[in-house]
């Protein structure tokens, strides 16, 4: 299979390229960092890149929370306009298979249950509550403590920052393209991806990267809130394998199918910081109590659908993955 990989020089995209090559496919690299002319917003350049292609693995995106709402136009341009240009070119050229780099951020907060009111959806985080160190969301009906659980793909979307809004818009665009063309689209809703080649020293990187950069400077990782926020840290090679499985599978035409893509082994941010510091041999993490309003408290995935329908399973365990990441260049 000849596969156009957008964002091919990036963190996840470069691993996808390697996985495709290792399994006998022909990846076609497309990344503005490697070639300034390879911008997914460039209609003519994208059309040329699609020549002779069987499928597209769309990894190119602006990621992370960034530096504030002033980044919104750039996020929308790169993520949503770029996806629209790509899909329009696919419609013109007859390419009918898409795997999209989705994200768990489309859910907003994770799944919560109240002992009295069952499954509930917490409202927006309140600055006053966070400033007082009350990080756990309360029941929107009675205010009682909630129990976090795993999020399934049928959970309602509730994007709570600009990046999340653009990732949901990408899915809507891909679904509209699939309906209009009869194409098949898969969105792999990545959880917290980490591993070798993860971007560093940028406000758009992930939390594992922030901690790794601090350790490299001889500094203690700074853990926001109380460190008990739950995440699903999934290794980048497992994510690349999920892309390969999605490309090789038979997908429903005329529709978009979302798949949570997580390890199934949730950990707190504090646990991750301690594991990484121990593996690196650096200072112990410091819990600061700081917070970012655009963050969510708990978000962990139920990846059963991906495991059962695409016969995928993660291979890199948490401790081994953190040791490798700590030692990576």
Active site residues per annotation: 163
What phi and psi values does residue 17 have, to the nearest 5 degrees? -55, -45
**What gap in Å lies between CA 144 and CA 160, rounded to an integer?**
22
Q: CB of 266 within 8 A of CB of 232? A: yes
**What gap in Å lies between CA 109 and CA 205, rounded to an integer?**
20
Residue with tokens 């040329």: 48
Residue with tokens 């291979």: 315
Across the chain, which distance is largest between two alpha carbons, in Å?
A: 58
**What gap in Å lies between CA 35 and CA 329, rounded to an integer?**
24
Residue 142: DSSP 8-state: T
Alpha carbons within 13 angstroms on the beta-carbon side of residue 321 total: 23
């Amino acid at each position: 299979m000849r596969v156009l990989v957008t964002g091919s020089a990036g963190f996840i995209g470069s691993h996808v390229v390697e996985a495709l090559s290792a399994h006998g496919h022909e990846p076609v690299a497309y990344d503005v960092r490697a070639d300034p002319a390879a911008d997914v917003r460039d209609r003519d350049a994208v059309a040329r890149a699609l020549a002779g292609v069987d499928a597209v693995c769309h990894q190119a995106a602006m990621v992370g929370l960034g530096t504030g709402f002033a980044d919104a136009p750039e996020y929308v341009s790169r993520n949503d306009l770029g996806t629209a240009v790509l899909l329009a070119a696919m419609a013109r050229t007859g390419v009918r298979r898409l795997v999209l780099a989705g994200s768990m951020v489309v859910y907003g907060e994770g799944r919560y249950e109240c002992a009295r009111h069952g499954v509930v959806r917490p409202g927006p985080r309140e600055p006053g509550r966070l400033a007082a160190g009350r990080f756990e969301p309360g029941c929107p009906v009675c205010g009682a403590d909630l129990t976090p659980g795993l999020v399934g793909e049928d959970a309602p979307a509730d994007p709570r920052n600009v990046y999340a809004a653009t990732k949901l818009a990408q899915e809507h665009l891909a679904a509209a393209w699939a309906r209009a063309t009869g194409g098949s689209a898969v969105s792999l809703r990545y959880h917290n991806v980490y591993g070798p080649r993860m971007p560093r020293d940028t406000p758009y990187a992930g939390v594992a990267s922030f901690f790794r950069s601090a350790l490299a400077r001889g500094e203690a990782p700074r853990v926001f809130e109380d460190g008990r926020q739950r995440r699903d840290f999934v290794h980048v090679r497992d994510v690349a394998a999920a892309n390969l499985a999605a490309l090789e599978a038979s997908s429903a035409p005329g529709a978009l199918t979302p798949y949570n893509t997580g390890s199934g082994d949730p950990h707190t941010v504090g646990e991750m910081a301690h594991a990484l510091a121990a593996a690196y041999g650096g200072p112990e993490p410091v819990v600061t109590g700081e917070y970012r309003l655009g963050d969510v408290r708990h978000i962990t995935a139920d990846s059963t659908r991906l495991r059962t329908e695409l016969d995928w399973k993660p291979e890199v365990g948490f401790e081994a993955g953190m040791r490798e990441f700590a030692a990576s260049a």
